[in-house]
Structure 1
Amino acid sequence: MNLLNRVFNYELPTEIVFGVDSIQHLPQIIGRLNGSRVLVISDPGVKDAGILNKVTVQLEDGVTFDTFWDIEREPDVKTIWKATAKAKEFGADLIIGVGGGSALDAAKAVAVMVENEGDISNYAGLNKVPNPSVPTICIPTTSGTGSEVTIWTVISDKENNRKFGIGGKTIAPTIALCDPTLTLSLPGSMTAATGIDALTHALESFVNKATQPISEALSRESMRLISKSLRKAVHQGDNLEARYDMLLASTIAATAFNPTRLGLAHALCMPLGAKFNVPHGIANAILLPQVMEFNLVGNPEKFKDIAEIFGEKTDGLSLHEAAALAVKAIKKLNQDVGIPTGFREFGVTEMDLGYIAEGAIGSDNVLVNPRKPSLADLKEIVRKSL
């Protein structure tokens, strides 16, 4: 498409505060938002690692607060209901989310439901939430989901084996407080999974049909940082520079895909997570090379760019040969950071291919993918990923 004939828009509703030890600015940020009764939402892992305490210790002078740290991986609608009930009973006028994507998504969902009636599933889709949420601060402790700046929250309905997204400016956090020191204790396996999740955000946004100059520039920088620092962050967990790069890459990638959506990897992740409990980052990492291979013909110029960002030499090669090196580079990255090789270990079999493909085909992420897939194409991508 000729960019001269195209109008695009870019908006980032969330303010970003980023830097080493920036958690110390939390009291001033709460003051700016006029927060007086704060509910902090997190998960057991963050609490047990002592990270939740690093946040709440900042609140002990002059702020009334309470905590809800029972958020599970892939937060369920029932958990959101419980946390919302606590927020309303407490009279929370500000929500803080501390953790990975699950805790941050839960915090965003609770902030919405404090100001809106009914069941959260009623608001599935884009721009369905009528009333603005209470002010929300999201503090990431992983470098992957980018939930601290996205206009989406993803909730599970485990009773019905489904996941759904709720999107719109009313979902976006008010402020993202990003302190790389809070990611230093993240285990290598989780660093790898969340890091490839961030890469998938940047890469799928970069090659899809909704891409635009601002998001492209953000995606490029995110991929550059991941290429430079993911291996170090996985294998040298105390390397603060690598942790800084990865948290920045994750946040930047999310600002890239906010206006563009993603692609087939994320479409397929939803049914894989809902029924088989495959962690989101792992699902993306396993799918990504196969999705890239399928998409190469849809945007070979961009895949050549990706190959070069990840250090592949493309001089003297045809466009297709150069583009194919992007797949090689990502497979090598997966191997180097210890990503599982397939979905069989999660109980997925050939019998499940139809369920997964049918669960993905209706995703809006399919609509912007650089190559239009059929159900058979989606089944084959998952089959190659078993």
Structure 2
Amino acid sequence: MAQFRNFRMVNYVIFGRGSFDQLDEILAPNRKNGAPMVFFVDYFFEGKPLADRVPLKGNDKLIYIDVTHEPKTSYVDKLAKDLKEEFGTVSGIIGIGGGSVMDLAKAVSLMMTNEGSSADYQGWDLVKKPGVYKVGIPTLSGTGAEVSRTCVLTGPTKKLGMNSDYTPFDQIVLDPELTANAPANQRFYTGMDCYIHCVESLEGTYLNEFSKSYGEKALELCQEVFLEKDTWDEESDDKLMMASYAGGMSIAYSQVGVTHAVSYGLSYLLGTKHGIGNCIVMNHLEEYYPEGTAEFKKMVEKNNIDIPEGICKDLTDEQFDTMINVSLGMKALWENALGADWEKIMTREKLRKLYKRL
């Protein structure tokens, strides 16, 4: 008898320009016995108007999150430890920023209630207890972190998410106004994360009508924004935010593929940011996604974006082996991309040649 995944989704969603202003009202019933709400805000917003709009009450705390590097388990553990020492417990964690800030919010929420280190929970369904209340508020569109059941972390030995039914946010606030001032390059790299999610999901062996329905819509929205429109406007922000949501939903019941599996190795070894790492890899994947790669290159050209080249040219054999080990550890991604016999197709030598081209 077939086994179907019974996955949890985000409990509450609010969408619309200006919806961020309802955050105080949304949080009010979730405040517990004087315990604070803790706001993780991308340090990009320090000294900017958004920070002043955060609805701080009582002993609430605002922490500016450094996203220079991809989220590390050591950073998650330090944030959770500091909060426990200062407050004992908290009413909730609210992540305001891009995918890294939202992933940190999810991870710290879980580590407020689960023992040990976040590195202990890198994998599938290892988290034993629900975290504290958590809210995701994206200020960049594309990662799908607002709806996913994972929070991707770089640990001592691997880059892998805390994938569990306890990971999704309890509430998300989708306010396209918050993405209006994103730097053009960053907006493109993050938007391409969504586009690539869709290509990998729609061409994967795990594809089903659930993931196909969301993936096709998200792909269509990305094409409208990055190929058909000549100028960026409010409608672009609205569409890309919904593309991110739908793209995240698409991979909830399927999986990503070659691009993500390879970029995880780059991120682990070189600290390459997720969005740009995916773009660097996608630029060389004609063999696996011929149509998607060709269309991606059109988007790069139309939007006047430079994709870095030669980032692996000076690496040692040992460093290549490290990336290969991390990448080949993403078994579900490879199986989705290449099928059950993927290990016969993607050998270590073939993967090494691919990395050398990046």
Q: What interval of TM-score do these two structures reach, taking the shorter chain for normalisation?
A: 0.7 to 0.9
Matches within 5 A, 1:44-63: 44-54=43-53, 56=54, 59-60=55-56
Residue 155 of structure 1: how far off its partner (Å): 1.5
Residue 287 of structure 1: how far off its partner (Å): 1.3
Aligned-residue CA RMSD in angstroms?
A: 2.4
Residues in 2 aligned to 1:231 and 1:28: alpha-carbon distance in whole angstroms:
38
Aligned to 1:301: none
Q: 274, 277, 293: which one pairs with 2:271?
A: 277
- For normalisation by structure 2, the TM-score amounts to 0.88
1:127 aligns with 2:125: yes
Residue 236 of structure 1: how far off its partner (Å): 4.4
Aligned to 1:145: 143
Q: Contact 2:268–2:323 at 8 Å: present in 1 too?
A: no
Residues in 2 aligned to 1:81 and 1:325: alpha-carbon distance in whole angstroms:
42
Matches within 5 A, 1:207-356: 207-230=203-226, 236-237=231-232, 239-291=233-285, 293-296=286-289, 324-345=290-311, 349=315, 351=317, 352-356=319-323
Aligned to 2:337: 369
What do the CA deviations read for 1:118-143 (whole angstroms, capped 9, x no partner)? 11101110110110011100000001
Residue 284 of structure 1: how far off its partner (Å): 0.7
Aligned to 1:67: 62
Identity %: 23
Task: Specify the code of the residue in structure 2 equivalent to 1:294.
Answer: E
1:179 aligns with 2:175: yes
Q: Contact 1:282–1:339 at 8 Å: present in 2 too?
A: no
Task: Specify the code of the residue in structure 2 equivalent to 1:71.
Answer: D
* Unmatched runs of 5 consecutive residues or more in structure 1: 297-323
Residues 141 and 179 of structure 1: CA distance in aligned 2, closer, same or farther (over 3 Å): same
- For normalisation by structure 1, the TM-score amounts to 0.82
Aligned to 1:359: 326
Residues 6 and 118 of structure 1: CA distance in aligned 2, closer, same or farther (over 3 Å): closer
Residues 333 and 349 of structure 1: CA distance in aligned 2, closer, same or farther (over 3 Å): farther
Q: Contact 1:22–1:177 at 8 Å: present in 2 too?
A: yes
Residues in 1 aligned to 2:227 and 2:58: alpha-carbon distance in whole angstroms:
40
What do the CA deviations read for 1:176-232 (whole angstroms, capped 9, x no partner)? 111000000100010110011111112111111112101111000001000001358
Query: What secondary structure does 1:142 align onto?
Result: coil
Aligned to 1:307: none
Q: Contact 2:210–2:253 at 8 Å: present in 1 too?
A: no
Residue 290 of structure 1: how far off its partner (Å): 2.9
Aligned to 1:106: 104
Alignment size in residue pairs: 345
Residues in 2 aligned to 1:186 and 1:330: alpha-carbon distance in whole angstroms:
20
Residue 380 of structure 1: how far off its partner (Å): 2.9
What do the CA deviations read for 1:94-127 (whole angstroms, capped 9, x no partner)? 1100101111111111100101111110111011
Q: 157, 160, 177: which one pairs with 1:164?
A: 160
* Unmatched runs of 5 consecutive residues or more in structure 2: none
Residues in 2 aligned to 1:217 and 1:276: alpha-carbon distance in whole angstroms:
35
Residues 6 and 221 of structure 1: CA distance in aligned 2, closer, same or farther (over 3 Å): farther
